[in-house]
Chain A
Amino acid sequence: MQRDPNYPTICKIEKVIDETPSVRTLIFSDDVLPNVLPGQFAMVWIPGVNELPMSVMISHEQGKAAFTIRKLGEASTGLYNVAVGKYIGIRGPYGNSFDIKEGKLLLVGGGTGLVPLLRLLTFVKPSDDVTVLIGAKTKAEVFFEDMANDILEKNPHRVLVVTEDGSYGEKGLVTDLVEKIITETKFEAVYTCGPELMMYKTVQLSHEKGIFVQASLERMMKCGIGICGSCCIGEDLVCRDGTIFDGDHLLANKEFGHTFRTKAGILDKF
């Protein structure tokens, strides 16, 4: 029978890589997920635990896909703890993808927000001049710096790290560096994924300079397909209309950068 994207396809975890003390990448074989567009996500079922939306991580092997997860709540910790040989269920892929421009590109990622950005890097043209900014609290939480450099090996590029405590790279917030860099260099496009306040500032700064900017949003998700309404932000459904939105569209949305909905659907402040 043909695969139904809305019914869980069961995959066995084949390999687990520890990225930091709280972040892991789980690798598995699949026919569909290795080839998704940058920004697309899957709903990932951890049998007996929960199900959560995950941006699909690249793998370096044909026919294999991955998820990179930080343990935080019940669902994410459940996924983090899935061992080699155990099963997960995947629905999807869902959502839209980044509009990939050419020329000087700036990518701004925080934490596991780097996942869709790394996939985006695999789509850039060899002539594109790519800057990747990675924000983290401290040195131990920096990951994917080497992978970004490897993917961009043949491109003019730079990968810069900013830590809040200054233990690695520049000290401060990644958005301080965004402000400095977009003043120095005229970028064709800015792409961001990570904590919403980081994205909000990045979108604001880029928009002020008239640069095309897109952000990948995260909201409480249950169905992933535009039925339950949990992930609404203004009139948009993150699962169905996003997760990628243009900066000007986001700045016109009074919820972006300010509020999110709880599991019960109550608006709460960031």
Chain B
Amino acid sequence: MAINLSTKIGPLSLERPTILASGILGISLDVFNRIYKAGAGAVVTKSLSKEPWEGYANPTIFSVKGGGWINAVGLSNPGAANFASMIQPNKEVPIIVSLVGSVEDDFDFMIKQFENCKVVAFELNLSCPHVAKVGLEVGDDLDLVNKIIKTVKNATAVPVFAKVGLGSTDYIETVSTAVDAGIDGITAINTMRAMAIDIETQRPILSNKIGGLSGTPIKPIAVRCVYEISSKFEIPILGSGGISTWEDAVEFFLAGASAIQIGSAVGDNWIKIFDEINNGISQYMEKKRYSKIAEMVGLAKGS
């Protein structure tokens, strides 16, 4: 019997719970189509800004010895308007558009660029750890978070999620503000501020010196955050942070996530990762006799 892997993240229904995380591979519609065919339930675009950004000079990504990645790509992206015209032909792929900006008007402008595109949700990146004036600095400013979400919710009927990370403000405060402002779901977590120094040349490796740590090292932290958010709020959660196996995915469901996002593991295992994780989830559900994902979401909280 084919297992039904569909899931609901508040108002958004997806056929499969595995989503390509923002920042990974997300700059062309052809690639989105390929990843969707490879098994992803949805794809999140690179974070788009009002104007095109080139990002930082290389090196922008390298691995951590023992597992994980550190990156400071610097939010390179073609800008919301260019990107919207590029995905305009989309018919099939559930695309979640990620946005970054420093004031509410940026978001209003960007949302309007996508009026004629098939977009299933927006994800507000309130947590990029390595670009000034956007990302974490916005997520740390609760007044600004409130204004941005209210503006965005006013500008579109499409579901809106907020991606949070660990900044200088308690992320629970950011989530609380987002929930009060009417957000439809929370993506948790983003990468965490990190760096590595080469001991021969005695320099930081990233051109930006400091970047974001992703992959397996941050998974236990992400599970903890998803668990805390789901314990404190009635809000759908998209779990993200170091998911590389179906067991990881199930752990996030049990912590309270209704869907999961996969990023770094694409670098380690390539795009077959979506199919592998979907298959593993199916087998687990069969073994545990679940007929839908929702039956296991948040189960760990009751124990």
B25 touches A8 (CB 8 A): no
Q: CB-CB contacts of A1-42 with B at 8 A, as 1s and 0s?
A: 100101110100000000000000000000000000000000
Interface centre among B31, B61, B205 (most CB of A within 10 A): B61
Q: Kindly state the interface size class of chain B when it binds its partner.
A: 35 or more
B59 touches A229 (CB 8 A): no
B79 touches A225 (CB 8 A): no
Partner of B27, one of A48, A50, A229: A229
The residues of A that contact B31 with a CB separation of less than 8 Å are: 229, 232, 235, 237
User: Number of A interface residues, CB 8 Å?
Assistant: 38
Q: B23-42: which have CB < 8 Å to A?
A: 23-28, 30-31, 33-34
Partner of A51, one of B28, B58, B71, B263: B58
State A163–B152 Cα separation when bound (angstroms).
58
Chain A residue nearest to B30 in the complex (CB): A235
A235 touches B34 (CB 8 A): yes
In the complex, B289 has a CB within 8 A of chain A: no
**How many contacts A-B (CB < 8 Å)?**
129
In the complex, A145 has a CB within 8 A of chain B: no
In the complex, B198 has a CB within 8 A of chain A: yes
A227 touches B61 (CB 8 A): yes
B27 touches A261 (CB 8 A): yes
B52 touches A264 (CB 8 A): yes
Q: Given the interface contacts A1-B65, A8-B205, does A74 sit within 8 Å of B57 by beta carbon?
A: yes
B25 touches A7 (CB 8 A): no
In the complex, B89 has a CB within 8 A of chain A: no
B30 touches A265 (CB 8 A): no
Q: Is the interface of B mostly helix, strand, loop or mixed?
A: loop
Q: A120-149: which have CB < 8 Å to B?
A: none
A227 touches B65 (CB 8 A): no
In the complex, A263 has a CB within 8 A of chain B: yes
State A4–B198 Cα separation when bound (angstroms).
14
The residues of A that contact B185 with a CB separation of less than 8 Å are: none
Q: Is the interface of A mostly helix, strand, loop or mixed?
A: loop
In the complex, B54 has a CB within 8 A of chain A: yes
State A22–B38 Cα separation when bound (angstroms).
44
Shortest beta-carbon distance, A23 to chain B, in Å? Answer: 21
State A223–B207 Cα separation when bound (angstroms).
13
State A1–B26 Cα separation when bound (angstroms).
34
The residues of B that contact A8 with a CB separation of less than 8 Å are: 59, 62, 198, 205
Q: A244-270: which have CB < 8 Å to B?
A: 261-267
Q: A50-108: which have CB < 8 Å to B?
A: 50-52, 74-75, 87, 89, 91
Interface centre among A50, A227, A234 (most CB of B within 10 A): A227
The 4 nearest A-B residue pairs measured at CB: A6-B63, A51-B58, A229-B25, A235-B30
What are 13 A-B contacts with C-beta separation under 8 Å? A4-B63, A10-B200, A10-B201, A43-B58, A45-B205, A47-B198, A50-B59, A222-B60, A223-B60, A226-B270, A227-B264, A229-B27, A232-B27
